[in-house]
Structure 1
Amino acid sequence: MRRRILLLILCLLAAGGSWLWWIMPPAVAIAMATTGPALRAVYATGSVEPVHWARVGPAVRARVTDVMVQEGQRVAEGEPLARLDDREARHRVEEAEARARFAEDELARTRTLVTRDIASRSALDRAEAEARAVGASAEAARRRLDDYIVRAPSAGVVLRRDVEVGEVVDTPASLFWIGELRPLRITAEVDEEDIAQVSEGQPVLLRADAFTGQVLTATVGQITPKGDATRKAYRVRLTLPDDTPLMIGMTVEANIVLRRTDDAVLVPPAAVRDGRVFVVRRETVEHRPVEVGVQGPRAVEILRGLARGEAVVLNPPATLADGQTVRLRP
């Protein structure tokens, strides 16, 4: 009998505990909707370069015999930057000039023979044609000597020098970078999925590893009309202000601002589920649809459906329903 009574008591206690668990409101965590800046932007990466600059390379393959400028030096248009070994080219010039002199001598003799009716007019025509051809060849050989001097294509500063005396250089090589230190720009790549949202004049926020914690600015200056089908990206030029601390060659991360709201309503991402939030009013919750704007890792912008100061449930349980009573989680 005692055993039956004890078993009955245990069953009643278990049933009562289950009933209490069933009727007890679920415990939830809440957060307050706040206001702050919300930024919708297109992400891009790029590097800093001068607006006016050029890579300078050799016109022929040869060994470098002299480098005449240093980095940071200002040069004029056409000024020699480096000399290449032109000994073989000079020998070709001497040979071509010798042939030209011989052709001229032959032409003079043929003219004398024609005046004495010893040679025909056709022989004179051939001699004149030969003299012109050989002379043109000699002139071309003389002009090719200038290919052995690497010259500045425009006035500017030697931004970089990548050549030393004794190196053998070829036409694909870039020996010097010539340009102006200001103004500067950023050449960035924007994914083809985002390029339709980008337009000239949009503000840009920049981040560079050299300036940690500092937000720099730029402006969209130009969009290349033709994209790169392989990289699936478009080239965008970002104009930098004259006082920018960025230096030539630095890499940056760019956020091209599409929309900025300084007093947007913000909630944690955990509060939004399927375009809806649960708003806590006293001890019950209200299931409310909202329009979501910018979504970030720390906050979500609410465009419509929620006001600042309202409390929302974080990570709402799947069983939570509209009008249900809740209790705050300790």
Structure 2
Amino acid sequence: MTKRMLIMLGGVLALIVVLGVGFFLHIQKLIASAPKPGPQTVSTAVAKQEEWQPQLNSVGTLSAVHGVDVSSEVAGQVRNVAFKSGQDVRAGEVLVQLNADSDLAQLRALQAAAELAATTLKRDRAQLAAQGVSQAQVDADAADLKSKTAQVAQQAALVAKKTIRAPFSGRVGITSVNPGQYLNPGDKIVTLQTIDPIYVDFSLPQRQIGQVRMGQAVSLKSDAFGAEVFRGRINAISPKIDPATRNVQVEATIANPKRKLLPGMFANTTIDVGSKQRHLTLPQTAITYNPYGSTVFIVKQGKNGLEAQQSFVTTGDTRGDQVAILSGIKEGQEVVTSGQLKLKTGTPVTVNNSVQPANSPNPTPQEH
């Protein structure tokens, strides 16, 4: 290779080096001049100790203490409907009267036959004393009287079935039965429900059985009545665990004097268990739940201002909008409650608490 070629090669290499250095310096200048991202705006809450009542929560179904579809045992034509739809009735009160004219006539005929049989027996007993008739005749008369009396009782029972009465006190539903209508045995007339008090049936996991007992207080809320609380007590605990769900069924009796709660409604039930405790609490929105664990972002003072630091936490029970924190943070630390999506450890933040997430132990519906 000649000297001239070496000089040319050296010049090309020098040119490449100069161009590379210039390009590198240009990139550095662009990076330095690029606008830096500003701090992320977040809302925060201070972790603090609060009194915490351990509770068992479940969703239950309301059912009547007594509930039945009133029907007729016998066929007949409706003569009179003695109630109005939605009316409160007492036990034994007449609801529907069926036409019983022919049955009453038959009853009177049987009563007359029974009276004749009684007279015949009385006369033959007198004749027996004078040896005018045999003992066999008197025995036959006595048996005939018993038969006639039984027929009278049977017919009287049939007549009584033509008057359909309320089997217990309660509120009747809506009926479509009208006078003149023919009813067959078993036809539904109206539903009758006793709703004060009312039952609520709900299930609890088997691990919670040891925390419930007969007579324990129960509070109930329904979305139909917002924050209104209905109270009662446990009256029955099933002696059997459902093998499919491993849950135990519990029944409580709830006072319902205004008859607001109706059978078939669902309701949220709460049972207070144990003594009150104290826990660090945070709004549930502060917790980020991940497959590898639950985390929060703590706001700390960094070199250039406030910055976020991610921390793992162990959560406990929830109560309304709140969650109990068992470990991972200390009382008084400031924790991000919203705006976590763009955060990572070291991200600068600015705090704006003009709008706060819900943080109530007993939240109520916002719609009115």
| Smaller-chain TM-score bracket | 0.5 to 0.7
Write out per-residue CA displacement over residues 47-88 of structure 1, whole angstroms, 9 at most, x where no aligned residue.
Answer: 486x79887554434332111233576766544332112245
Cα distance in 1 for partners of 2:348, 2:200 equals: 49
Write out per-residue CA displacement over residues 248-298 of structure 1, whole angstroms, 9 at most, x where no aligned residue.
Answer: 568352241537889852053543552554545434876755341234796
Write out per-residue CA displacement over residues 131-173 of structure 1, whole angstroms, 9 at most, x where no aligned residue.
Answer: 222222223322431221123456x675545243234154473
Please, which of 334, 347, 358 is the counterpart of residue 310 of structure 1?
334
Deviation at 1:326, TM superposition (A): 1.8
Conservation of the 8 A alpha-carbon contact between 1:44 and 1:253: yes
Where does residue 24 of structure 1 map in the other structure? none
Where does residue 237 of structure 1 map in the other structure? 253
Q: Secondary structure at the match of 1:129?
A: helix
Q: What code does the residue aligned with 1:327 have?
A: T
Where does residue 293 of structure 1 map in the other structure? 316
- Which protein has the larger Cα radius of gyration, Structure 1 or Structure 2? 2
**Any gaps of 5 or more consecutive residues in structure 2?**
1-11, 33-38, 351-368
Where does residue 67 of structure 1 map in the other structure? 81
Q: Secondary structure at the match of 1:142?
A: helix
Q: What code does the residue aligned with 1:218 have?
A: F
- Map 1:152-301; keep pairs closer than 5 Å: 152-153=166-167, 159-160=172-173, 162=175, 163-167=177-181, 168=183, 170-171=185-186, 173=188, 175=190, 177=192, 184-193=196-205, 196=209, 197-198=211-212, 200-202=215-217, 204-209=219-224, 211=225, 214-226=226-238, 233-240=249-256, 246=260, 248=262, 251=265, 253-258=267-272, 264-267=280-283, 268=285, 270-271=287-288, 273=290, 274-275=293-294, 277=296, 279-283=298-302, 290-295=313-318, 300-301=323-324
1:81 aligns with 2:95: yes
- Map 1:4-153; keep pairs closer than 5 Å: 5=17, 32-34=44-46, 40-47=55-62, 57-71=71-85, 78-90=92-104, 92-94=106-108, 96-97=110-111, 99-100=113-114, 103-104=117-118, 107=121, 111=125, 114=128, 119-153=133-167
Cα distance in 2 for partners of 1:64, 1:171 equals: 14
Q: Secondary structure at the match of 2:252?
A: strand
TM superposition score normalised by structure 2: 0.60
Cα distance in 1 for partners of 2:166, 2:254 equals: 27
Q: Secondary structure at the match of 1:290?
A: strand
Q: Secondary structure at the match of 1:256?
A: strand
Cα distance in 2 for partners of 1:302, 1:287 equals: 15
* Identity among equivalent pairs (%): 16
Write out per-residue CA displacement over residues 155-199 of structure 1, whole angstroms, 9 at most, x where no aligned residue.
Answer: x6755452432341544735363769xxx4442221242773555
- In the comparison of the two structures, how many residue pairs are matched? 309
Structure 1 pair 198–58 and aligned structure 2 pair: CA distance change class (3 A): farther
Conservation of the 8 A alpha-carbon contact between 1:38 and 1:294: no
1:327 aligns with 2:344: no
Q: Secondary structure at the match of 2:237?
A: coil
Structure 1 pair 295–104 and aligned structure 2 pair: CA distance change class (3 A): closer
Cα distance in 1 for partners of 2:171, 2:269 equals: 31
Cα distance in 2 for partners of 1:66, 1:198 equals: 50
Conservation of the 8 A alpha-carbon contact between 2:218 and 2:252: no
Structure 1 pair 32–113 and aligned structure 2 pair: CA distance change class (3 A): same
Q: Secondary structure at the match of 2:154?
A: helix
Conservation of the 8 A alpha-carbon contact between 2:62 and 2:201: no
Q: Secondary structure at the match of 2:150?
A: helix
Q: What code does the residue aligned with 1:271 have?
A: T
Conservation of the 8 A alpha-carbon contact between 1:33 and 1:265: no
